[in-house]
A and B are shown apart, each in its own frame.
Chain A
Amino acid sequence: MIVFQKVSKIYDGCTALNNVDLTIKAKEFISLAGPSGAGKSTLLKLLIGEEKPSKGKLFLDKQNIHLIKEKDMPKLRRKIGMVFQDFRLLSDRTAYENVAFAMEVAGATNKEIKQDVPQLLELVGLVDKLNQFPHQLSGGEKQRVAIARALIHRPSVILADEPTGNLDLLNSWDIVRLLLKINELGTTIILATHDREIINNLGRRVITLDKGRVIRDEENGRYIL
């Protein structure tokens, strides 16, 4: 469902991705490993259309992302859920409103919002924190809100860019377990991380990047550099 065909990305003469060929099937759980600056975030940015490849083609559900018009980008982004290391919640909105916002932008009715948002927040274990603002939540709780928000459009794929980077061990595993649960429900997950322990314990496909190249792609892989 996601295909990278000889994709390169060059920023001012600096190669962030170099000739990447990849195929990711639906419902897979992929760990994207590699040190900082390996090209993990660039790869995710290309997938959500925030950056355009310098060379090559990139398909999501057979649609060439590079050719999507600016005005149709919001539709693409609703098909992909994003989770970030720094949570990226709207600071002046409650947990409920942050999740509801993602539904509002897609034109959901008030009835749908009232029905779906509490359900999702219950799924991520935050039903008692509906009216808390981000600054009143712990790091783990913020990341759960972000995951609930990413799930709201029932996306076919979730891109998680270092989602445990700002969390302690206990919370990190809570988030990873939540992502595994979402994957079991049928959503493709691409988890970009440099956390060796998490990758080694997952026992799923691991794609390792270094200096913009795919240096290893293994089922039941491990973090080896």
Chain B
Amino acid sequence: MLKTTLFRIIRSGWQSFTRNYWLSAATVAVMILALFVIAGLTLFNVMTQAIVANLEGRVDVSVYFNKDTDESKVLAVRQELVGLPEVKSVDYVSQDQALKAFQERHKDNQVLLQSLQELDQNPLEASLNIKANNTSQYQAISDYLSQDRFKGIIDKINYKQNQDIISRLTRLTGNIQVGFFIISLFLGLLAVLVSFNTVRLTMYTWRDEISVMRFVGADNWFIRGPFLVEGALYGITAAITTIIIIFPILYFVSPKITNFLPEVDLMYFYQSNFWEFIFLLFAIGIVLGGVSSLIAIRRYLRA
């Protein structure tokens, strides 16, 4: 009995969806817009995250060791730093490597290279390049290295010189994230409200039918059910269409964005998270369509 009723409710919703195709198409079109905005915001979020990560990745703190410090001591400090929760990575640059890098950087400057050769020994110091998980953590790392026990081996920590730019960057990345969150919330809410209102208008056209159903003795769930199915079908169709139209758009847009921001490949992100996208858009579509229908017909169900 329950199976038959369920089948009838689904069939009824499907019939209404397919037979009133113009009305369905209009409603689905608005939902596509809403889902497209949501999907676009998700992809845009990936982009901002990459920009923020890129900015943060450019910041590091270098610790320079006195020239007479044993390599083993430097490596011991490195080991200690790696163990700190704030530290993401620590790269060791030996005196020789520093020299090679310096020579490479200034290979066109013969005067500088000659004067370097005049010197008896390598003037450059070994260093550790430290990257933190978060720009706000550099202060803590700098403080850690300023302890007395390191005084004998550490010549200088360049955090002080970079402190201003680092704190500005921390503020900037924080602002980008908060700004993006507010815009997302606003646009997402707008998309949801527009969809909800469209479904509400669609259901308004069915108000007479609903009263007919009540007159022939349909209970509220038998009336509600098909509209719920119809609403969910709007969501499913809109989700499928959105998923499909994102492909050609990304095909054209993604390479252009990659040109500007090499670490952002939206097409790759979309493809590698395809199932998550399907799940997200289906879930939002079904819930938006279904819940909007339920709320919209509630007023017509009051006897």
Residues of chain A at the chain B interface (Cβ within 8 Å): 48-50, 70-71, 73-78, 82, 88-93, 101-102, 104-107, 109-110, 149, 153
CA distance A73 to B220 in the complex (A): 10
- Known contacts being A92-B16, A104-B8, A110-B4, is A71 close to B209, with CB within 8 Å? no
Q: Which residues on the A side are within 8 Å of B219 (C-beta)? A: 71, 74, 105
Closest Cβ of chain A: how far from B204's Cβ, in Å?
A: 15
**Are B19 and A50 neighbours in the complex by a CB distance under 8 Å?**
no
CA distance A77 to B212 in the complex (A): 11
- Known contacts being A104-B8, A109-B4, A110-B4, is A93 close to B15, with CB within 8 Å? yes
Total chain B interface residues with beta-carbon distance under 8 A: 21
Please name the residue on chain B nearest to A72 by beta carbon: B219
Closest Cβ of chain B: how far from A143's Cβ, in Å?
A: 14
**Are B217 and A105 neighbours in the complex by a CB distance under 8 Å?**
yes
Residues of chain B at the chain A interface (Cβ within 8 Å): 1, 4-5, 8, 15-16, 19-20, 208-209, 211-219, 222, 303
Q: Which residues on the B side are within 8 Å of A102 (C-beta)? A: 216-217
Please name the residue on chain B nearest to A99 by beta carbon: B216
Please name the residue on chain B nearest to A88 by beta carbon: B212
18 more contacts with CB within 8 A, not counting A91-B209, A101-B218, A104-B8, are A50-B303, A74-B214, A74-B217, A75-B217, A82-B216, A88-B211, A89-B212, A90-B209, A92-B16, A92-B19, A92-B209, A101-B216, A102-B216, A105-B217, A109-B4, A110-B4, A149-B216, A153-B217
Chain B interface helix/strand/loop/mixed: helix
CA distance A93 to B208 in the complex (A): 14
**Are A77 and B19 neighbours in the complex by a CB distance under 8 Å?**
no
**Are A105 and B216 neighbours in the complex by a CB distance under 8 Å?**
yes
Identify B217's interface contact among A78, A90, A109, A110, CB under 8 A: A78
**Are A105 and B218 neighbours in the complex by a CB distance under 8 Å?**
yes
**Are A92 and B217 neighbours in the complex by a CB distance under 8 Å?**
no
Q: Which residues on the B side are within 8 Å of A78 (C-beta)? A: 216-217
How many A-B residue pairs have C-beta atoms within 8 angstroms? Tell me: 56
CA distance A71 to B8 in the complex (A): 21
Q: Which residues on the A side are within 8 Å of B1 (C-beta)? A: 107
Q: Which residues on the B side are within 8 Å of A50 (C-beta)? A: 303
Q: Which residues on the A side are within 8 Å of B214 (C-beta)? A: 74, 77
Please name the residue on chain B nearest to A106 by beta carbon: B217
Closest Cβ of chain B: how far from A200's Cβ, in Å?
A: 30
**Are B215 and A82 neighbours in the complex by a CB distance under 8 Å?**
yes
Please name the residue on chain A nearest to B18 by beta carbon: A92
**Are A105 and B213 neighbours in the complex by a CB distance under 8 Å?**
yes
Q: Which of A71, A76, A88 has the most CB of B within 10 A?
A: A88
Q: Which residues on the A side are within 8 Å of B216 (C-beta)? A: 77-78, 82, 101-102, 105, 149
Closest Cβ of chain A: how far from B122's Cβ, in Å?
A: 87
Q: Which residues on the B side are within 8 Å of A91 (C-beta)? A: 209
Identify A92's interface contact among B15, B211, B222, B303, CB under 8 A: B15
Q: Which residues on the A side are within 8 Å of B15 (C-beta)? A: 92-93
Please name the residue on chain A nearest to B212 by beta carbon: A88
**Are B16 and A77 neighbours in the complex by a CB distance under 8 Å?**
no
**Are B303 and A49 neighbours in the complex by a CB distance under 8 Å?**
yes
Q: Which residues on the A side are within 8 Å of B222 (C-beta)? A: 104-105
Q: Which of A49, A70, A90 has the most CB of B within 10 A?
A: A90
**Are A77 and B217 neighbours in the complex by a CB distance under 8 Å?**
yes
Pick the 9 closest A-B CB pairs, nearest first.
A78-B217, A105-B218, A77-B217, A102-B216, A74-B219, A74-B217, A88-B212, A92-B19, A105-B222
Q: Which residues on the A side are within 8 Å of B8 (C-beta)? A: 104
Please name the residue on chain A nearest to B23 by beta carbon: A92
Q: Which residues on the B side are within 8 Å of A104 (C-beta)? A: 8, 222
Q: Which residues on the A side are within 8 Å of B213 (C-beta)? A: 90, 101, 105
CA distance A166 to B215 in the complex (A): 20
Please name the residue on chain A nearest to B17 by beta carbon: A92
Q: Which residues on the B side are within 8 Å of A89 (C-beta)? A: 212
Closest Cβ of chain A: how far from B298's Cβ, in Å?
A: 14
Please name the residue on chain A nearest to B222 by beta carbon: A105
Q: Which residues on the A side are within 8 Å of B212 (C-beta)? A: 88-90
